Amino acid sequence: MSEPVTLTIDGKEVTVPLGTTIYQAAQQAGIDIPIICYHPHLTANGLCRICSVEVKGWRVQAAACVTPCADGMEVHTRSEDVICGRRTILELLASTVNLEEAPEILALLKEYKADPERFAEGEQRTAPLYDDNPFYIRDYNQCINCWRCVQVCAEDAQYTFALTFNGRGFHTQIGTFMGLPMPDTTCVFCGQCVGVCPTGALKPKRQALLEQGLDPDEIFRQTRRKRKQRQNA
């Protein structure tokens, strides 16, 4: 191990190589830090802030998934401020988007005793359902802007760059360039984005149709439109 650094996390001493993040060090020490946008196989961005922890002497909390450990650091993952912050993040998420199909986030809501109704009068982020290709649907009513899909579409996996952000601030939303339908973009339908979506905002079309109660034969008919048109021609 070149250049080890030693820090304490919740009073426990941990020694890790330089460059290790607080999140990874905590995992090594068996200390659980909650995550939402973080994915162990993707570039961490510290977007959702649910992994925020307190570092002694720091003015603000640090996102554990992107903050590298330093020698002598004193980290608290469960202080009152940290818990309060996480609870508020969860309450804001719950008031903004539909978390029905995000079991891990729902479990966190419970764990942190968050009140999903706290900001019930706040603005909801709404979007139409995009069903513009034969393979997957996009329902941004369930999107928490974790950025995973944008990343796997870019340099974390596919290098296709079909997905991006549209809008500003609260109204930021994942979409395509110029809002084009998927088949008109550079999308190659690899579905890496579907594979990393934590909330069911991106979903295989067959799964979506099955959830609507269609049987496999009807799903088959509904997903074979063009071929039929063509045979009629």
* Residues in contact with other proteins by the rule CB under 8 A: 40-41, 100-101, 133-136, 155, 157-159, 183-184, 186, 188-192, 194-196, 200, 204-207, 210-211, 216-217, 220, 223-227, 229-230, 232-233
50: Cβ contacts below 8 Å, ≥ 6 apart: 34, 35, 36, 37, 86, 89, 90, 108
Q: Kindly tell me which of 59 and 230 has the beta carbon lying closer to other proteins.
A: 230
Minimal distance, residue 97 CB to other proteins, in Å: 15
| Whole-number Å distance between alpha carbons of 77 and 168 | 31
Q: Kindly tell me which of 53 and 196 has the beta carbon lying closer to other proteins.
A: 196
Q: Kindly tell me which of 15 and 133 has the beta carbon lying closer to other proteins.
A: 133
Minimal distance, residue 96 CB to other proteins, in Å: 19
Minimal distance, residue 154 CB to other proteins, in Å: 10
Q: Kindly tell me which of 82 and 180 has the beta carbon lying closer to other proteins.
A: 180
55 neighbors 79 (Cβ within 8 angstroms): no
